[in-house]
């Protein structure tokens, strides 16, 4: 989604982008196409390196002759490098993008781990390596990625799309069958071990034992009752009447603006977008201290250790007990922090400046 926001917002008079997907175009690729940007699919299968995909990429580079080739995550970085070393392509400046933080290589998929290690050995070849998180740059530097190539550009947020919305509060509660004054804590994240849904549910159970009327909204891919593991965990934690599983939603700004508290429960992150999105909506956040989450929040929310349901529940309780006025003050301060540090137009300008400097103006 950050790639979509970036290429959609760049100065069209100075920059013309073409996006290449290693697999199929997918839903984000369709959004990029709708923005008028060409998207090409190499047709490679996940987990199955295919030389034919690299051949297609090489042909595309030779045909379009881009001013810069930018990889976007590990496999794309390696693919862009392999296409780049083809005769004559190496004259084009190569840039890598890394949007993940490696905490434990054993937790990575085998092919991904091999790609990470190989790219570390080849990291002297790209002109720049753009990380979206400070922690990510530090972790990759420790893995052998060239530190002198490092550029850190955080994710940016559309402040016209993610805005405080009092009406959303009432509308979402009505849809969920809740009273207008019901207190709602939200976690927006796809179902994945790194996102800590189990820790979230354990913390929610602890909070409900103190405040039985608190409700929890969860949204994201595979976050529905059809996910039997997740739903069984919710039931076992006594949350069947307090939890709302919405699945993947396209109206995330509206959902964010409806929350009293937004949260993460992640055990691994780079730069969690949902934190900045919630802050832009004027919602106070409680986050686990992974990736750049604490840096994003600053002094506008609460930070707890990852994997600790008791600490997460206690931080929620602090904001619950302090009341709506304190939460509102946190939220107003949070939006101002996003305006100052993470506004999309400022982040896009950072990319434009890097690209311009690489090609000499």
CA distance 251 to 281: 13
Radius of gyration of the chain (CA): 21
Domain ranges across the chain:
2-156+344-358, 166-341
Q: What pLDDT, on a 0 to 100 scale, did the predictor assign at position 259?
A: 98
* pLDDT tops 90 at residue 342: yes
How would residue 38 be classed by pLDDT, with cut points 50, 70 and 90? very high
Residue 223's Cβ-side half-sphere holds a number of Cα atoms within 13 Å equal to 27
How would residue 85 be classed by pLDDT, with cut points 50, 70 and 90? confident
> CATH fold of 2-156+344-358, please?
Rossmann fold (3.40.50)
**Terminal CA-to-CA distance of the chain, rounded, Å?**
27
The alpha-helical segments, DSSP class H, found in 214-300 are 228-236, 252-257, 273-280, 293-297
Q: Using one digit for the tens of pLDDT, what is the confidence trace for 183-196? A: 999 999 999 999 99
Q: Are 7 and 347 in contact (CB under 8 A)?
A: no
Q: Are 78 and 119 in contact (CB under 8 A)?
A: yes
Q: What pLDDT, on a 0 to 100 scale, did the predictor assign at position 250?
A: 86
Residues 6 or more apart in contact with residue 99 via CB below 8 angstroms: 2, 72, 73, 131, 132, 133, 136, 270, 271
For residue 285, the cross-strand partners are: 262, 301
Angle of helix 309-341 versus helix 197-210 axis, rounded to 10: 110
Q: Are 303 and 293 in contact (CB under 8 A)?
A: yes
Shared fold status for 2-156+344-358 and 166-341: yes
Q: Using one digit for the tens of pLDDT, what is the confidence trace for 137-184? A: 999 999 999 999 999 999 999 999 999 999 999 999 999 999 999 999
Which residue in this structure is represented by tokens 């559309």? Answer: 158
* pLDDT tops 90 at residue 95: yes
Q: What pLDDT, on a 0 to 100 scale, did the predictor assign at position 361?
A: 65
Nearest to 286 by CA among 238, 231, 296: 296
CA distance 46 to 48: 6
User: How many angstroms separate the Cα of 180 from the Cα of each of 136, 159, 256, 282?
Assistant: 41, 26, 16, 18
Residues 6 or more apart in contact with residue 296 via CB below 8 angstroms: 154, 271, 272, 275, 276, 279, 287, 342
CATH tag, 166-341: 3.40.50.2000
How would residue 24 be classed by pLDDT, with cut points 50, 70 and 90? very high
User: Average of pLDDT values for 272-291?
Assistant: 96
Q: What pLDDT, on a 0 to 100 scale, did the predictor assign at position 222?
A: 96
- Tell me the average pLDDT of the chain: 94
291: left (phi over 0), alpha (psi -120 to 50) or beta: left
CA distance 110 to 98: 18
């Amino acid at each position: 989604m950050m790639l979509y926001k970036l290429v959609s917002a760049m100065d069209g008079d100075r920059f013309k982008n073409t996006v290449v997907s290693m697999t199929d175009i997918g839903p984000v690729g369709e959004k990029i196409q709708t923005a008028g940007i060409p998207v090409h699919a190499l047709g490679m299968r996940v987990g199955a390196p295919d030389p034919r995909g690299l051949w297609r990429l090489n042909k595309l580079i030779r045909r379009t002759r881009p001013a810069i080739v930018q990889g976007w995550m590990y496999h794309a970085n390696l693919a862009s490098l392999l296409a780049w070393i083809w005769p004559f392509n190496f004259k084009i400046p190569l840039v890598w993008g890394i949007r993940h933080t490696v905490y434990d290589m054993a937790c990575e998929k085998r092919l991904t781990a091999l790609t990470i290690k190989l790219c570390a050995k080849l990291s002297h070849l790209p002109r720049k390596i753009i990380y979206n998180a400070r922690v990510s740059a530090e972790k990759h530097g420790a893995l052998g990625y060239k530190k002198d190539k490092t550029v850190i550009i955080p994710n940016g947020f559309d402040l016209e799309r993610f805005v405080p919305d009092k009406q959303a509060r009432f509308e979402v509660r009505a849809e969920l069958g809740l009273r207008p004054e019901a207190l709602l804590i939200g976690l927006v994240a796809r179902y994945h071990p790194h996102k800590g849904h189990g820790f979230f549910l354990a913390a929610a159970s602890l909070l409900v034992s103190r405040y039985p009327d608190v409700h929890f909204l969860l949204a994201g891919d595979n976050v529905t009752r059809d996910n039997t593991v997740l739903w069984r965990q919710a039931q076992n934690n006594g949350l069947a009447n307090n939890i709302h599983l919405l699945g993947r939603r396209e109206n995330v700004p509206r959902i964010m603006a409806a929350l009293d508290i937004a949260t993460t429960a992640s055990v691994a992150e780079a730069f969690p977008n949902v934190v900045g999105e919630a802050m832009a909506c004027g919602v106070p956040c409680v986050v686990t201290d992974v990736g750049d989450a604490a840096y994003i929040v600053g002094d506008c929310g609460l930070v707890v250790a990852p994997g600790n349901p008791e600490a997460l529940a206690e931080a929620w309780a602090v904001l619950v007990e302090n009341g709506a006025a304190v939460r509102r003050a946190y939220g107003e301060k949070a939006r101002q922090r996003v305006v100052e540090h993470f506004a999309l137009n400022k982040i896009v300008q950072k990319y434009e400046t890097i690209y311009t400097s690489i090609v000499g103006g």
